[in-house]
Amino acid sequence: MDSTPAAERPVLTVDGYSMAYDTDEGRIEALKNVSLSIHRGETHAIVGESGSGKTTLAWAITRYLPDNAHDLGGAILLSSEDMLAKTAAELTDLRGRRLAMVYQDPSSSLNPSMTLGDQVTEVLRRHRAMSPQEARSEAEAALARTGIRNPAAMMTRYPHEASGGEKQRVIIATAFACNPELIIFDEPTTALDILTANQIIELFLELREETGVAALYISHDLGLVSRVADTVSVLYQGEVVEQGDLKTVFAAPAHAYTQRLLAALPRPQDRLAVAAPQTDTPLMSLENIGVCYYTPSLLTRLLEPKTVAQYGARHISFSVRPGELLGVVGESGSGKSTIAKAATGLHPFEGRIVFDGKVYDSARALDRAYRRQVQIVFQHPDGSLNPRETIGRILARPLRLYDLVPRAQIAKRVAELLEMVLLPPEFASRYPHQLSGGQKQRVAIARAFAAEPRLVICDEITASLDVSVQATMARLLVDLQARSGAACIFITHDLNLVRQLAHRIVVMRNGAIVESFAAEDTEQTDRAPYTRELIDAVPVLDRPAISATTEVPHQ
Amino acid sequence: MGRILSTSNGVAGVILLTIVLTAALFGPWIAPYDPQLFHSQARLQGPSATHWLGTDQFGRDLLSRILNGAPSTVLFGMGATSLGVCAGTVIGVIAGVAGGRTDGVIMRILDGMLAMPELLFTLLIVTFLGGGTLQALLAVGVAFTPGMARIARSAVLSVRTREYVLAARARGESRSWIVLREVLPNAIGPIIVEATIRVSFAIMIGATLGFLGLGAQPPSTEWGLMVSEARQFMFRNPWGVIIPGIAIAMTAMGFNLFGDALRDAFDPKRSL
Amino acid sequence: MNFLTLKRRHVLMGLAATTALPSISFAQSGQPVSGGTLKISHSTRIATLNPLSLSGPAEYPCIDMLYSRLTRIGFDSQPHPDLAESWVASPDATEFTFTLRAGVTFHDGTPLTADDVVATYQAILNPDIPAAATSVLNMIDTVEALDELTVRFTLSSPFADLPFSTAHANACILSRSALDDLTGLETRVNGTGPFKLETYDSARIVRMVKNDNYFVRGRPYLDAVEMLLFPDLAAETANFLSGTTDVMLTVQQADFERIAGSPGIGGQRVNSGRYVCVVMRQDAEPWNDVRVRKALAKAVDRQLLVDILLEGLGRPAYDSIVAPELQYATDKPEIAYDPEGARALLAEAGYPDGISVTMVASDRPAIRSQTAIVMQQTAAAAGFNLDIQTMPHDTYLANVWRKGPFYIGYWGMQPTIDATYNLLLTSEAAYQDSEWKNEEFDALIQAGRSTTDEAERARIYAEAQTLELAETPYIVPFYEDVLTANRDNTNSWQVAPISRYFYIENVWLDS
Amino acid sequence: MNLSYLIRRLVAVLVVMAIVTVAVFAITNVLPGNAALMILGENATAQNLAALERQLGLDRPLLVQYFDWVSGVVRGDLGMSLRLGLPVAEVVGSAFINSMWLAGLALAAVTVISIPLGALAAIKRGTVYDTGIGVFSYVGTALPEFVTATLLLVLFASPANPIFPAGGFADPMEDFGLFLTHAALPVATLGLVLMAHISRQVRSEMSEVLSSDYVRAARIKGLSERRVIWRHTLPNSMAPAVAVISLDIGYLLGGIIVVEEIFAWPGLGRLLIYALQNRDLPVIQAITLVLAVVYALSNLISDLVIAKLDPRVRYG
């Protein structure tokens, strides 16, 4: 035990720690020689893409590893006590009291059949030996501290009766309840919408100041990390490739992988958009489009007159000019995907669509010519391709359906499409499950452009990809748009990305349009308050843009 | 296939199934005696050198009767299930794809048919068709249809919302193309898994009908009937009851284990 | 104690039969003791107690205990006085006068009078009321009550065996009040029998208690009798062996040896005229040719059937539906199992390479399909390729019985040769299904029933039986034995060959 | 559970009843032969048959018979049993009570035994308990009732060692102890198959709950293993367990038919087989109706229980 006084001694020290999983395909090393330390009051961020092992590190520290995991070496010290040597009883006593955790998805991390109050009091009664009444009042105070408006009512509610933000506050209150030495935050804001996420970040900063607790903050979002963390470790395939003070690492990243992560961050100032369209006559315009998801049945209307029809989106009108990229921004539930489904006839709608001068007043009216010229690409790469078909046949289908190419040339055209999206031609004979997420999304984009459309609707095509892959996907889309002259409706929740790509931006909220404006007018002062809030909520790193190197093959 | 053999269930299932299917396919030919031949001196004997599994009340060789009964019992189970699966899948797919009012109507009728316990429903149909193996097979097939239709419908519904199907609809593919090329190939997996498990259930119902005298009729060598005929002599030669009982259990277990292994191979997440 | 063969006795007709009820003395232990409850187990449901139409094997003992008839068949297969003390027949057997026993009352206390007898027989003969006894009483023209205690029957045609018909199991004497509420008969009983009905739960138990003023003094010995239903043979056997029940009404051939051999239990095996017959419809190929029928007769191994199906508990029969025990029954020549002979006869009849034909057997009782299966084996060697088709009893009754060309029949024993032949073989028989129409045979039967002269009847019936054997209308391979069993504490429990009359009033239990 | 949902469920039950009765009527009437033929059996001369058919009302046209019967049911009069000459309500009533005793005991035994069994297997995954219960569940579901019943009869009720009476019935009101001895083997037969099936389902449900995020969160809060199991895992597995049990009630009602036949238990199952063999239409109708209603109500009740156990479930 080193003799440094308590104040300087790190709360958490991970020293050369390695571990591996036993799987059907043999032993896989998940963490290789990881070292880091966190002092009281310090927030150390672990940054890395999916599969980098950052969450595994969290389970290693809390000693909650699955049966097929094995520690290979190194030590994990909590206030210089080696966690690997702890017995099960010691661990149960230590967890919740000296070490706590905040999870990514609040709705699945709370017991659905227990009131929120009980889930806080049980920690107090377990570790601080409080009586039920003391625990209840202390829990109420803890909830109040996290900014929950009516803590007493919240105590009696069940998880499904609270919003995502409120549930995350309850989890945070539970974590801070016993004033632990270390709290691990595992992507606490990823599952929340931007505004709520912002509030949770503010709450985190306040509580950290108040309690001086040491925090390990795990995230894939570099922008967010720059606001909360003092020090950072960059994790790539289980190894810490870079570590140190956050400011210095982000200012001058030494390792190529860190550089690439930073470069991939979308910055509004790095404009990628193609040349703006010259003509003002719109290619397609939506007029007063409305999509209804639920109309109460006759019986329900009879018995509960107050139930009202529920609309996904209502009174939506905007237009797209040929070759233009229109950004549609909004949180989940804002109705942006509903409009994509309406525009491609996947869901019946009210109102009219005017495309290239022709009027369509219902989903059934969308004829084959319309469907060829308007293509759509979806969010989840895994769900976009039919697992039972080879990539070649998937790409050939639009060619055959619209017989764009004589039968003999189909194979050649498929190879061209693959090259167009930077994929080797021999992928044609592979099946979707043999490709990575990024590669599958490229095939989906190639399939859309195979029909030589005049408009491509991209419904959150980057949302399920890693940051680095998102950047290359955006650039690919813009290149294809330039080459084909097609217009594009780019739907996303990432304001910075859309400001990079779009000529015009439409902001949506709760099924209605807040406002629409040209991309360059985003920073204008007369923007609607909701838009202003969105802009402020997403921090932008002030690093100068660095040219992106080619993608690291592993993805 | 490799994944199926990886679990202990899978291995046990495959072993049992191979035994049962060889009996079902080659039983009549590898049987040592003619199943109907009387050995009137050797009546109601336990296992012996000449009769490996003993003899029944007429002195007929039990091993030969089991081997000879295998096709009628096992193929009965598979026949009834495939009948139920085909009819059920067609109804389920129609309900799943059509959606809206047709789906509602079909589901109400299915609920009506499922309102009665399956064995009761089968009993009613069997009395409607009159006893006999073919009638029993038809009855079990019809009784399985609503259950299978429901499973097919839910499989279709889960696939219909997948994005590659939405992309196909957006492209303007015809409905039949979508069903045949996009929906069915991916929905068939869970249907086959359920069908395999249901075969064991069909065999048990078939045997129960045989036992109640509503299924196969004498002189058939159906295992359920064998148990019911041997019950009278159970205290003089318990083997007459035990051997067909074990045969039914082995067959049912074989299909059950194989079905579970198949289900794990398809979606490992739901493994036990 | 088993009744292997019953000696035949002729009762002199023409004279008023005045012999009292045969007091059957048993070489059994000690003096009868009264009291106790006799528990009888049975495996078929007592679906109804309506004496007019019931026919279940477990239902007959109930009405035998609850009701009486004018006459009653004894263990010697002869009619004995019951409610009728005595009866006189006119020489040409067209008129019978019965004198009723005095002082007999129904269970509800009302006295029995001739009017009740007349009302009962009018109900039986009424076409609107379903009654099983009609077929043996249809020759009755009028029934009149001469006075309180005498009833006269005038017949439309001479019929010497009327005392057998009035002893028919379904010819129970009902009170006039009971006859007004026919549906009530299903569940309520107001008879004159030795026991009164206490509880009737058709799913489980029928309990009858002693009728204190039964017209035979000192009877019944028992306080009560309980009929307990066990549909499953294994359960019934286990309960009987474990002592829960005293009597097992019918024992299956398969279990008889084991049960009879168990400690504290006595098995009873009574030769009877119950038989399985192979029905060959003679109005079409191939059964119209007597040589084919004779060939099939040779293709049946009767001793094998008795050994394997009946476990030896029965007797081979030689194609006559007349049971040896019946009055005037003649001995029948043996028919050996002779496959070559059968094959030769078939060739002679124009079927050199044998016959393939479908034989239908209903699934209840199981003896039908078992007989078919065994015959299939033995007949194959004789050139008959039988395809056995088993079907549920209801489908058989509706589609095949009395319509199909070739199937298995199963009949109980009838009290007289006249009743036996009139049931099946005469041209106008109630259940004629062989299409064997023989005027000479019909005339003989008609003559047989109209003379009371013993020797004459014996000659007529002998000639009728030889005619039946010559033509082989049915193949009758064996007669089943009636099998029953009782615990040692149950004394003088007996079953008649015709298994319709049980005399349970004579049964008594050791204390 | 709001009103419109409840009404919709009850209307659905009524619709199902209508379908069931029409189906049963059609099925039993299209067969060759009828109750009258079955009653008379081989005493059925043409004249007798016609008289009995008139007496039983079988000569009326089908549709008239059906609507007479339905109007009777609405008035609560289920008609007369053709074969037993007793009011159907009486015959089916007593049989219903006996069957419910059997089903109730079997269900209770199954719930009390299979849920802990399944929980034990899930908690002690991979241990000898788990594999043991796994084998038991596979063997249990593979044995048809009539094989299990026969084996139990041979083992426990044979003359050699009559531990239990071999079938038969004793009125629970009069002598409950004797009743239990009679009920033991039938309940064991019925229960075995269900226990095997339900313990396997509970095991898989429990395993899913044990691998859920909130159980992991509870463990990381440092709660004792006992509390994690009793307060976090079990309550959340109860709702799916009840759902599984309610699904198997249909199987239980089916199994009764065979078990009652073998153990001479005077219940609905045995009455149904007797009625089917004798074409006793009113009794068949009544039993099918009763079983369908019991089945529908048990589903409704289990839905209510599930809503009570799992606050997330709202019916609307």
Model ipTM?
0.76
Q: Test B242 with D143 for CB contact under 8 angstroms.
A: no
Nearest 5°: CA angle at C8, between C4 and C14? 155
Q: Which residues from C are below 8 Å from B130, CB to CB?
A: 391-392, 395
pLDDT at C29: 56
Q: Considering CB atoms only, which of B6, B167, B185 is closest to A384?
A: B167
One domain, residues C501 and C463: no
One domain, residues A288 and A231: no
Q: For residue range A154-191, what is the model confidence (pLDDT) as tens digits?
A: 999 999 888 888 999 999 999 998 999 999 999 998 88
One domain, residues C36 and C132: yes
Nearest CA in chain C to B59: C308
One domain, residues C127 and C153: yes
One domain, residues A19 and A165: yes
Interface membership of D216 toward A (CB under 8 Å): yes
Q: Test D274 with C401 for CB contact under 8 angstroms.
A: no
One domain, residues C351 and C462: yes
Cα A2 to the chain's mean position, in Å?
42
Q: Considering CB atoms only, which of D37, D158, D263 is closest to C398?
A: D37
Q: Are A103 and A119 in contact (CB under 8 A)?
A: no
Mean pLDDT in residue range A36-53: 91
Q: Is the pLDDT of residue C233 over 80?
A: no
Q: What percent of chain C has pLDDT over 90?
A: 41
CATH superfamily of B4-33+54-271: MetI-like (1.10.3720.10)
Q: Considering CB atoms only, which of A368, A388, A444 is closest to B186?
A: A388
Q: Test D27 with B231 for CB contact under 8 angstroms.
A: no
pLDDT at D42: 65
Which residues are within 8 A (CB) of A247 and not within 5 positions of it... i.e. 6 or more apart? none
One domain, residues C428 and C502: no
- A350 in a domain, yes or no? yes
Q: Is the pLDDT of residue C20 over 70?
A: no
Nearest CA in chain B to A376: B167
User: Which of D53, D84, D185 has the most C C-beta neighbours within 10 Å, making it the best mutation to test the interface with C?
Assistant: D84
User: For chain D, how long is the longest CA-to-CA vector?
Assistant: 86
Q: Test C254 with B234 for CB contact under 8 angstroms.
A: no
Q: What Cα–Cα distance (Å) separates residue C201 from each residue in A313, C36, C57?
A: 69, 21, 17
One domain, residues C63 and C175: yes
pLDDT at A122: 92
One domain, residues A436 and A531: yes
One domain, residues A394 and A457: yes
CB-defined contacts C:D, below 8 A: 141
One domain, residues C435 and C393: yes
Q: Please state, in angstroms and rounded to a whole number, the distance separating the CA atoms of residues C202 and C220.
A: 24
One domain, residues A161 and A30: yes
**Letter for the amino acid at A97?**
R
Q: Please state, in angstroms and rounded to a whole number, the distance separating the CA atoms of residues C421 and C407.
A: 19
One domain, residues C333 and C315: yes
- Which residues pair with residue A23 across a beta bridge? A26
Confidence of residue B232 (pLDDT cuts 50, 70, 90): confident
pLDDT at C407: 93
CATH of the domain at C35: 3.90.76.10
CATH of the domain at A53: 3.40.50.300
Q: Please state, in angstroms and rounded to a whole number, the distance separating the CA atoms of residues A52 and A341.
A: 35
Provide the shortest C-alpha distance from residue B182 to chain D (in Å). 30
Q: Is the pLDDT of residue C41 over 80?
A: yes
Q: Please state, in angstroms and rounded to a whole number, the distance separating the CA atoms of residues C421 and C406.
A: 20
- The two tokens of residue A452 are 């030589």
Q: For residue range C386-418, what is the model confidence (pLDDT) as tens digits?
A: 998 888 787 788 788 888 899 999 988 888 888
What range defines the domain where residue A22 resides? 12-261
- C234 in a domain, yes or no? no
- C366 in a domain, yes or no? yes
One domain, residues A184 and A316: no
Q: Considering CB atoms only, which of B36, B40, B231 is closest to C307?
A: B40
Query: Nearest CA to B194 among B89, B122, B70?
Result: B89
Q: Test B166 with A346 for CB contact under 8 angstroms.
A: yes
Nearest CA in chain B to A372: B171
- C115 in a domain, yes or no? yes
- In C, residues 399-458, which contact D (CB 8 Å cutoff)? 399, 401, 411, 430-431
Number of domains in chain A: 2
Confidence of residue A42 (pLDDT cuts 50, 70, 90): very high
Q: What Cα–Cα distance (Å) separates residue B202 from each residue in B150, D70, D254?
A: 17, 34, 14
Number of domains in chain C: 2
Q: Please state, in angstroms and rounded to a whole number, the distance separating the CA atoms of residues A322 and A487.
A: 5
One domain, residues A358 and A215: no
What range defines the domain where residue C176 resides? 3-18+30-193+489-509
CB-defined contacts B:C, below 8 A: 62
Interface membership of A66 toward D (CB under 8 Å): no
Q: By mean pLDDT, which of A198-207, A336-345, D51-60 is the weakest? A: D51-60
Interface membership of A376 toward B (CB under 8 Å): yes
**Letter for the amino acid at D115?**
I
Query: What are the structural domain ranges in chain D?
Result: 3-27+96-315
Q: For residue range C445-460, what is the model confidence (pLDDT) as tens digits?
A: 888 887 778 888 899 9
Q: Which residues from D are below 8 Å from C204, CB to CB?
A: 169, 266
Q: Considering CB atoms only, which of B169, B171, B182 is closest to A386?
A: B182
Chains in contact with A, where contact means 3 or more Cβ–Cβ distances below 8 Å, are B, D
- The two tokens of residue A375 are 């293509």
Q: For residue range C345-393, what is the model confidence (pLDDT) as tens digits?
A: 999 988 888 889 999 998 878 889 889 988 988 898 888 999 988 887 8
Average pLDDT, whole number, for chain C? 86
CB-defined contacts B:D, below 8 A: 131
> So what CATH class is D3-27+96-315?
mainly alpha
pLDDT at C485: 93
Q: Considering CB atoms only, which of B117, B248, B252 is closest to D253?
A: B117
Whole-structure pTM value: 0.79
Q: Averaged in consecutive runs of 10 residues, what is the pLDDT profile of chain D (316 residues)?
A: 73 78 74 70 71 77 82 81 80 88 91 89 84 86 87 80 77 84 90 87 88 92 90 87 82 86 85 83 84 83 82 63
- C145 in a domain, yes or no? yes
Q: Which residues from C are below 8 Å from D146, CB to CB?
A: none
Mean pLDDT in residue range A273-278: 80
Q: Which residues from D are below 8 Å from A114, CB to CB?
A: 231-232, 235
- Which residues pair with residue A18 across a beta bridge? A73
Q: What percent of chain A has pLDDT over 90?
A: 50
Nearest CA in chain C to B34: C377
- A252 in a domain, yes or no? yes
One domain, residues A233 and A372: no
One domain, residues A100 and A38: yes
Provide the shortest C-alpha distance from residue D55 to chain C (in Å). 8
- Which residues pair with residue C271 across a beta bridge? C481
DSSP string, chain D: --HHHHHHHHHHHHHHHHHHHHHHHHHHHSSSS-HHHHHHGGG--HHHHHHHHHHHTTTS-HHHHHHHHHHHHHTT---B-TTT-SBHHHHHHHHHHHHHHHHHHHHHHHHHHHHHHHHHHHHTTTSHHHHHHHHHHHHHHHS-HHHHHHHHHHHHSSSS--SS-SS----TTT-HHHHHHHHHHHHHHHHHHHHHHHHHHHHHHHHHHHTSHHHHHHHHTT--HHHIIIIIIHHHHHHHHHHHHHHHHHHHHHHHHHHHHHTT--SHHHHHHHHHHTT-HHHHHHHHHHHHHHHHHHHHHHHHHHHHH-TT----
Interface membership of A381 toward B (CB under 8 Å): no
